[in-house]
Structure 1
């Protein structure tokens, strides 16, 4: 089933109480990512991560209810501290890509998602815009949308320290 191009894609904006440099680092430093880049009740580990254009990552979100979710991606654009563009593909632990349904996603979940994150200074704060090439409706249905909101709230609490 082809995704309807008229369907609204996932777009989330969030204002963080930190500089673009600090927020960008939180998105690219594996030590910081471990503290916020997983939905509530879950943890994340990185098998590998190299944040640079052409670099890649292989991570696993450990979910006590739904099991492990392995993801690989490639960084297509890295502009410090303004922009990150990376692909996301569902895989197994060995790094072999899986069809969405094999990974427990709905049939119409995209096989590859492009994620674009922009960081814009707003006074002493940073406006982050997250865009993903997945329909907003299916992202809400699967909980992906809600997970981003919760992860952004976790990151907020780190900056509020």
Structure 2
């Protein structure tokens, strides 16, 4: 029996449960001041040159990593449905907002030029189930550390939110 040559990689999909109302969890994804508290891997910080979290709005951010250097990302908000769903693109860039190749940004050569990120927020009683889906191979995300960074950032987000709700 011949195996299919159109093997499809499993894309990144993570679910996390927060002890907070979904409006607060959603706002933590769209407010630059809130994002600064959690939206960067451990040991790193983030700054937003631009953020306009509305449908058709743009963002341009930089994660400052003391070991690997700066990582600039830009993107377009394709869908913003408060408090249920966010869909945005993520494109590697430089400080000026010009696209850069994946290898120039320290990613593997086959890293996608544009990653589509979909975040859904589901109310479960007084909790919020967040699901993130990205159009990047889960195996590649685990190899580069992106997958593990999401888990750690969600833990930081949970601690930040619990500090706001107590």
TM range, smaller chain: over 0.9
Please identify, of 4-13 and 104-113, the stretch whose mean Cα deviation from structure 2 is larger.
4-13
Give yes or no for the alignment of 1:85 onto 2:87: yes
1:75: which partner in 2? Answer: 77
RMSD (Å), alpha carbons: 0.8
Which of 103, 124, 127 is 2:126 aligned to? 124
Aligned residues: 158
2:3: which partner in 1? Answer: none
Structure 1 residue 97 displacement after superposition = 0.2
| SS of corresponding position for 1:36 | coil
Give yes or no for the alignment of 1:154 onto 2:156: yes
The answer for unaligned runs of 5 or more in structure 1 is: none
Q: Which runs of 4+ in 1 moved over 4 A?
A: none
| SS of corresponding position for 2:36 | helix
Structure 1 residue 53 displacement after superposition = 0.5
| SS of corresponding position for 1:106 | coil
The answer for unaligned runs of 5 or more in structure 2 is: 1-5
Structure 1 residue 51 displacement after superposition = 0.6
Deviation string, structure 1 residues 100-134 (Cα, Å, up to 9, x no partner): 11111001111110000000000000000000000
Structure 1 residue 5 displacement after superposition = 5.8
2:100: which partner in 1? Answer: 98
Structure 1 residue 160 displacement after superposition = 2.2
1:42–1:5 distance in 2 versus 1, CA, 3 Å = farther
- Pick the structure with greater CA Rg: 2
1:10: which partner in 2? Answer: 12
1:23: which partner in 2? Answer: 25
1:15 and 1:154 map into 2 onto residues whose CA distance is 13
2:60: which partner in 1? Answer: 58
| SS of corresponding position for 2:90 | strand
Deviation string, structure 1 residues 112-157 (Cα, Å, up to 9, x no partner): 1000000000000000000000000000000000000000000111
